[in-house]
Structure 1
């Protein structure tokens, strides 16, 4: 069921557009290398909306955030999409979900969207950029400008070309060791068609304002040029976290990387930065993979952080 709760930040309203729930994720899978006893100990501090009290499995969500301001209709990240070939990630493979119906139920048709802002270009953040039409991947939001990191796009393109040019991009990023590349196929079906349609706006992730109070804040590690996206409206702040975290357990254990984090050392650094930034600015945080409301606030006590769902 779609969460229809709408939050207000200044003049903006923010609504979660649900795609799929992941209700049986094993902690040892999500956090590889972490001892099972540690996971058991930490999950006892998390409520039943995020951990199944009977099985101990973790609960996650995949969704987008719809942001409406007086000037614009904005979608932040576009979930997984239907019909995408993702054999390397079974839960994302060939979905058939009524995501666009849920968007319409929130009062927005695809043609109403002005901006699509992407925290990064992983499979479950760009999928509804495109849909199959007569055997071709075509833009879902034809009147929108799709905004994303130029470095992320160049990296995916280099991996797609398989010509070795990805190594130079990794060296330039300076993020240290890499555990794995992103899923294949994402560039071809969810990014390249947007570029070819002339709808892409590639940016440098440097904290500067992109448009109307939105800023891309550097938080690399989960991906090569991951960004948190901030929104400031009438002195109030929202922070769209992307994938600096996947589950509330990481608030107490920011040293735990998810299985999907590509550059582990940088991911840990960005996770701590994101929590500190959220606490210092008093931002209302909108996550991409926390279950329940998926929104909340971070507080800090010395070196420790706490999460409270909104």
Structure 2
């Protein structure tokens, strides 16, 4: 397991899956193969397979130990979920509990869970099935949920988001399943803390909105003893977006707003030498970035 220390904060990567997800051209629309095989991004072979044309990504959770507390950043897909529109996630049976244990974390020891947004692959292990019901996996944790995402995805919040045309109607049935099994039980247990704008978790950790991928997409900033990092969630799916920051993924509900958030976060990261930690980068999964032409280039943390 990868371990990073920034000041008084320890970060441990829990890698649940790494491999080809889908054709790269489908993940970041509008980018032809030369964008994936050339330039400074060094995408082959860790992030792109030039033979199949596949985007290579990861499902992962980051364990953050800060101020004497254990925080999880995103919780993957979960096991046994009905995800009929996403074959890779449908009724998945992974080893996340064992991997978390190998990182030295027991569920009852988790103090906080950060969901950078409420997509299926970021909230799955929020809950576990017990005796036919979904219950919070981490019984003593506060779950930090972006308020804008709760309002957008919650079926009980009405149909304003659905009627707005902000998303393809075909997605709503699966999003309802995600909310029902991975978010609603946390709300029902009284363990959720909804937030907007920004929120300080402790002396080193601050949540900030970075909308576009979803209405409530967020980043988690780390600042400890002069060392900085930023967990960027799905602001980027691939390092190709460092070289082409205006290009959003196919999953972004508002591609233009996502691009604006991405550029803002990356400019600050380059200027302040923040370690950038995305949700889905394969390989080592984290990099410091520098400006390179109209975009950015990574210096991988190995």
TM beyond 0.5: yes
Q: Deviations over 1:107-142 (max 9, x none)?
A: 111111001011111110000000111110011000
Shift of 1:90: 1.1
Task: Confirm or deny that 1:156 pairs with 2:153.
Answer: yes
- Is the aligned partner of 1:241 residue 2:232? yes
Rounded to whole Å, the distance in 2 between the matches of 1:273 and 1:102 is 34
Which residue matches 1:6? 3
Matched residue, 1:178: 166
Aligned to 1:174: none
Q: Which of 83, 92, 96 is residue 95 of structure 1 equivalent to?
A: 92
Shift of 1:94: 0.9
- 1:19/1:63 contact within 8 Å kept: yes
Are 1:46 and 2:43 counterparts?
yes
Mapped partners of 1:7, 1:44: distance in 2: 22
Instruction: Return the offset for 1:179.
Output: 4.6
Aligned length: 297
RMSD, matched Cα: 2.2
User: 1:56 deviation in Å?
Assistant: 3.5
CA–CA distance in structure 2, aligned partners of residues 43 and 89 of structure 1: 32
| Alpha carbons 2:37, 2:44 under 8 Å: kept | no
1:150-179, Cα deviation, whole Å (9 max, x unpaired)? 12112111xx248423269x7xxxxxx835
State how 1:291-310 maps to structure 2 within 5 Å. 291-301=282-292, 303-310=294-301
TM-aligned CA deviation for residue 256 of structure 1: 1.9
Contact map agreement 1:238 1:285 (CA 8 A) in 2: yes
Moved over 6 A (4+): none
Aligned residues of 2:41 and 2:243 also touching (Cα < 8 A): no
Q: Distance in 2 between matches of 1:69 and 1:36?
A: 41
Structure 1 residues 189 and 226: CA distance shift in structure 2, 3 A: same
**For residue 133 of structure 1, what is the aligned residue in structure 2?**
130
Deviates more, 1:144-153 or 1:24-33: 24-33
Give structure 1 stretches of 5+ with no counterpart: 171-176
Q: Deviation of residue 307 (structure 1)? A: 1.2
C-alpha distance in 2, partners of 1:165/1:23? 36
Secondary structure, aligned partner of 1:103: helix
Structure 2 residue matching 1:60: 3-state secondary structure: strand
TM-score of the two chains, using structure 2 as the length reference: 0.91
Equivalents in 1 of 2:270, 2:85: separation in Å?
36
1:43 Cα shift? Answer: 9.6
Matched, 1:194 2:186: yes
Q: Partner residue of 1:165?
A: 160
Deviation at 1:190, TM superposition (A): 0.5
Query: What's the offset of the Cα at 1:214?
Result: 1.4
1:17-65 Cα deviation digits (max 9, x unpaired) = 1122232521122123444565555698523111225433221001000
Contact 1:217 1:229 in 2 (8 A): yes
* 3-state SS of paired residue (1:92): coil
Please point out which of 29, 34, 51 is paired with 1:32: 29
| Counterpart residue number, 1:147 | 144
Q: 1:227 aligns with which of 206, 213, 218?
A: 218
* Preserved CA contact (<8 Å) 2:151 2:157: no
* Counterpart Cα distance in 2 of 1:38 and 1:127: 32
Query: Does the aligned pair in 2 maintain the 1:145–1:200 contact within 8 Å?
Result: yes
Aligned to 1:64: 61
> Structure 1 stretch 92-101 or stretch 35-44: which is displaced more?
35-44
In structure 2, C-alpha distance between the alignment counterparts of 1:224 and 1:249, rounded to whole Å: 23
Distance 2:42 2:211 in 1: 28
1:270 aligned partner: 261
Could you tell me whether the CA contact under 8 Å between 1:49 and 1:292 is conserved in 2?
A: yes
Task: Using the TM superposition, give the Cα deviation of residue 287 of structure 1 relative to its aligned residue in structure 2, in angstroms.
Answer: 1.3
